[in-house]
Chains A and B, each alone.
Chain A
Amino acid sequence: MLVLKRKVGEVVRIGNDIEVHVLAVEGDVIKLGFEAPKQVQILRSEVYEAIKAENMQSTIPSGKDAKEWIKHLKKK
């Protein structure tokens, strides 16, 4: 892991087109701003992990026993 010290108002650049701005520090909370290409998804990592876990658990083999329930959704 690369460790850098930055002050409020300073910027870190990742690659050619991603900027991380240190906007404010309030106690133990750091406010960051991100500038990145639109195809780069920026998420809090706990949100990323939660969605990833949910996606993995939603893959169909785990829901195979649900055929009975799916009948309720059948076209009328």
Chain B
Amino acid sequence: MGENTVTVIHSQLYGELRPEKHQIYQFQQGIVGFSHLNQFALLPYEDSQLFILQAFEEELSLLLLPASMCGNVEGFHIDEEVVTALEIESVEEVIAFYIIRFIDDVPFVNVKAPILIVPNKQKGCQYVLTNDSVSVRERLILAGDEDARS
């Protein structure tokens, strides 16, 4: 890609998106089920704290919630393979997000397979937790609201 190239994604949902260079991420393995999609833009969603992960090659976009806003789990362990695959020195370089979806206006998060982003390497992946006690679809509990769950 030349220095002066402007990247444009044509999205049916949002129209023309022009992500800046630092908003473009390589997903070497794609995301689960979409291994053929390797380039994504990570963009703030309107004026919320959510982000959109929009594929370049196809009309595929996911809504992401920063993991720090999710109170469903306390956190998770990232294994050595992922650290190596993302070419990071420490886990502090990683920002984690959960894919959020709405069913009848109720928010659910996929706690089993978070999206990991490495801003200084512009790499990302969908990480699958080996922990069997977390689910791909859990009703979102916002961080700080843990006591309100009942």
- At the interface with chain B, which of A5-13, A20-28, A41-49? A41-49
State whether the Cβ of A73 lies closer than 8 Å to any Cβ in chain B: yes
In-complex Cβ contact of A52 among B32, B47, B61 (8 A): B32
Say yes or no for B73: interface residue by CB 8 A criterion: no
Residues in A neighbouring B99, C-beta threshold 8 A: 54-55, 58
Which A residues are in CB contact (< 8 Å) with B128? 41, 43, 47, 51
Q: How large is the interface on B (under 10, 10 to 19, 20 to 34, 35 or more residues)?
A: 35 or more
A55-71 toward B: CB 8 Å interface, digit per residue (1/0)?
11111111111101111
Interface size class on chain A is 20 to 34
Residues in A with CB closer than 8 Å to B102 are 63, 65-66, 69
The docked-state distance in angstroms from the alpha carbon of A73 to that of B66 is 11
Q: Which residues of A contact B137 (CB under 8 A)?
A: 54
Q: Is the CB of A41 within 8 A of B29?
A: yes
State whether the Cβ of A50 lies closer than 8 Å to any Cβ in chain B: yes
CB-contacts of B57-88 with A (<8 A): 60-63, 65, 69, 81, 84-85
Contact B48 A70 (CB under 8 A): yes
Shortest B131–chain A CB gap in Å is: 11
Interface residues of B in 107-150 (CB under 8 A from A): 107, 110, 112-113, 126, 128, 136-137
**Please, which residues of chain B bring their CB within 8 A of the CB of A66?**
102, 105, 107
Contacts of A48 in B (CB 8 A): 32-33
Residues of A within 8 A of B52 (CB): 60
9 closest A-B pairs (Cβ-Cβ)?
Answer: A52-B33, A66-B102, A58-B101, A51-B32, A54-B136, A63-B102, A51-B113, A38-B81, A60-B61
19 contacts between A and B (CB under 8 A): A38-B85, A51-B32, A51-B33, A51-B136, A58-B63, A58-B101, A59-B62, A60-B62, A60-B63, A61-B13, A68-B105, A69-B102, A69-B107, A70-B46, A71-B48, A73-B50, A73-B69, A74-B47, A74-B49
Interfacial residues, chain B to chain A (CB-CB below 8 A): 13, 28-29, 31-34, 45-50, 52, 60-63, 65, 69, 81, 84-85, 99-102, 105-107, 110, 112-113, 126, 128, 136-137
